[in-house]
Amino acid sequence: MTEGQERTGQDAIYEQNMQIEDIQSDETANKEELQADTESAVPEVQISEEIKELRICRLFVTWPKLFFGLTLGGHCLAIFTSTILYIAGYDILPIDFSAVPLNLEDDPTKLRADAWKFASESDAVTLSSSAVSGSAQRIVRYQGLELVYESQEKNMLTKTTLKRIQTLENELQNNKIWNEKLCMLGPTQTCRKPTSILRFFDGTYQSLHEDLFDPNFDNILHVLVTAQSLNTTRSTLAYHLGKDAAIDNLTQTAQSKYTRSLMNIAWPLDGFNSTLNQKEEQTEKSDSLTIDAFADKLKRTYTKGLPGIKFYYYNRAIYVNEIQLQFPLTAARRIDLRNLLGFARRRKLFLGRAISTMRRPHPRTLHKNK
């Protein structure tokens, strides 16, 4: 091979290498340009979105009254539609506080549990149950109606206030539904009197001490001091007095800003063999009778009040019924709800007094006292 041929071959190889380097450099440049274009495109998209947002804000700023009118009109339309539906009798907000939410009546698991739970309530299941064997009517306490009196002159233990309490409680006891269907019956099949501070004056406890009888409230201090001195009546007296009450013969003091009474509603009702017999139907009937007998009377008494006395009351059936009636709220019903909530706050006023005088008797045992 000659020297000229060698040079020609080297030149060819050199030219090929140069072409390869040019191609690689072009590819690198293209990749860099493509990457630069991609990176520059992202801010452009973000900028376009920001421009759209600014345009929306510009619309609100440019025509604020128009957009305010549109939103206000939408709210008014919703209120107007709800009003029309309410007038037409449509139940806009169907709420039932008397039952557990999502009560799946046909769920197999619930039905099996109910079959076991309520087996003793039906004579078709258990012939030897107490539901079939029966018991006397209205001898078991079902629930209570609690009456609370607050003196505006800081003392409920005066002749005037006790007479006013006596008048109100006599009116409640004379209710026909109470006497015939709700009251707890004694051994003589007559209605037991409410558990009240009045029982220390009307002769109910006279068999325990002859001084526990003062129907005209002429010797209030002596009667209450006597009741406080007896082990049998001391805790019962404490139940009726506020925590700051003072009964002291040395200082001739008989004072309590609060007092309360308890009317026991009993079952089984007429037509039922026992408290287990058709329990759900029996409780619904008892609650309905309680509402019919006392709700309106107690509502009027609370609204008008007693002279010199603030009056509060509580009963579970009436409480649940008032909550159900709060939809929609009216002025009268708001008063009832405030009464019930206010009563719950005032119950704590009795706790300190009950603890400081031996023990507070449980309401379910109060009817056992003579």
Is 320 exposed, middle or buried (CB count within 10 Å of its CB: 0-12, 13-18, 19+)? middle
Other beta carbons within 10 angstroms of residue 342's beta carbon come to 14
Question: What pLDDT does 13 receive?
Answer: 56
pLDDT band at 200; cut points 50, 70, 90: very high
pLDDT band at 30; cut points 50, 70, 90: low
CA geometry: angle 215, 220, 223, nearest 5 deg: 85
Question: What pLDDT does 284 receive?
Answer: 92
- Taking the C-alpha atoms of residue 62 and residue 247, their distance in angstroms, rounded to an integer, is 76
Question: What pLDDT does 93 receive?
Answer: 74
Task: Check: CB of residue 352 under 8 Å from CB of residue 156.
Answer: no
- Mean pLDDT of the residues in the chain: 77
The arithmetic mean of pLDDT across residues 323-339, rounded, is: 58
Better-scored residue on pLDDT, 230 or 364? 230
Question: What pLDDT does 246 receive?
Answer: 93
- Taking the C-alpha atoms of residue 313 and residue 302, their distance in angstroms, rounded to an integer, is 8
Question: What pLDDT does 58 receive?
Answer: 80
List, for residues 252-280, the tens digit of each pLDDT value: 999 999 999 999 999 999 888 888 888 88
The arithmetic mean of pLDDT across residues 315-339, rounded, is: 68
Q: Strands 140-151, 309-314: parallel, antiparallel or unpaired by DSSP?
A: antiparallel
Question: What pLDDT does 343 receive?
Answer: 54
Question: What pLDDT does 304 receive?
Answer: 87
For the chain, the residue count is 370
In this model, does residue 40 exceed pLDDT 60?
A: no
Alpha helices in 230-262 (DSSP H): 231-239
In this model, does residue 353 exceed pLDDT 60?
A: no
Asked which of 69-73, 128-132, 190-194, 316-320 is least confident by mean pLDDT, the reply is 128-132
List, for residues 108-154, the tens digit of each pLDDT value: 877 787 777 766 555 555 544 444 456 788 998 999 999 999 998 88
List, for residues 62-120, the tens digit of each pLDDT value: 888 888 899 999 999 999 998 998 888 887 776 665 555 556 667 787 778 777 776 65
Question: What pLDDT does 89 receive?
Answer: 81
In this model, does residue 168 exceed pLDDT 60?
A: yes
Question: What pLDDT does 46 receive?
Answer: 59
Question: What pLDDT does 238 receive?
Answer: 92
In this model, does residue 216 exceed pLDDT 90?
A: yes
Better-scored residue on pLDDT, 249 or 369? 249
Question: What pLDDT does 131 receive?
Answer: 47
Question: What pLDDT does 25 receive?
Answer: 55
In this model, does residue 204 exceed pLDDT 90?
A: yes
